[in-house]
Amino acid sequence: MIILSSVYRALVAVGDRHVPTKFRAFWEHPAGPQTIHFWAPCAKWALVIAGLGDLSRPAEKLSIYQSTALASTGAIWARYSLVIIPKNYSLFTVNLFVFLTGGTQLARALHYKYTKDQASEAAVAKAEPVPSAK
């Protein structure tokens, strides 16, 4: 781990000499590319990409628990990113998209479960014999 942090510090030092003046404020921002506050949200976009990939997955194969967890954590962390100092808008954006993709998958899974339950109830009701009135 020490080797990786040494490499990272060397890359930042090289980048520091080559950042144009108009990007200097972004480079030196407390949530800029020199900090984990920049790179963690970048890595979290993988969750959004995976969620978008799952849009083509059949609804019966979606996990309600996983979708609920993604939507919940996306909402919680999106809120948190606007409360902390400095505000981290890249963290807000990625978590907003995690919430939206998780919420979309949750809605699809719940809709499938609800319509499946309705269809099975209708089939049972149709199969039950109606008592004859005497």
- Cα(42)–Cα(128) distance, integer angstroms: 56
The domains found in the chain, sorted by start residue, are 35-116 (1.20.1280)
**Do 100 and 74 contact (CB within 8 A), yes or no?**
yes
> For 33-44, how does the pLDDT look when each residue is reduced to its tens digit (9 = 90+)?
887 778 888 899
Better-scored residue on pLDDT, 5 or 106: 106
- Cα(52)–Cα(46) distance, integer angstroms: 10
- Residue 48, number of CB atoms within 10 A of its CB: 21
- Cα(29)–Cα(15) distance, integer angstroms: 14
Instruction: Compute the average pLDDT of residues 78-84.
Output: 93
Q: Whats the size of the chain, residue-wise?
A: 134
